[in-house]
């Protein structure tokens, strides 16, 4: 199976989305103190990077 750069970016996008959901879930359901806000913020950051990876598909 040959993976070109668009396939790699697609896989990276899905991995970043899943990690973002995991981190936001940890922040919402596991940590009730200030650490939960940090996990949620980092999860949103993962979503932002996934958005950039998705926007780069077909352009690099």
pLDDT, position 38: 93
Burial class (CB in 10 A: 0-12, 13-18, 19+), 23: buried
pLDDT digits (tens, 9 = 90+) for 20-59: 999 999 999 998 889 999 999 999 999 999 999 889 888 7
């Amino acid at each position: 199976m040959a993976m070109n750069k668009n396939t790699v970016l697609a896989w990276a996008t899905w991995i970043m989305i899943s990690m973002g959901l995991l981190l936001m879930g940890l922040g919402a359901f596991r940590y009730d103190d200030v650490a939960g806000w940090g996990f949620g913020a980092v999860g949103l950051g993962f979503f932002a990077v996934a958005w950039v990876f998705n926007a780069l598909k077909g352009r690099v």
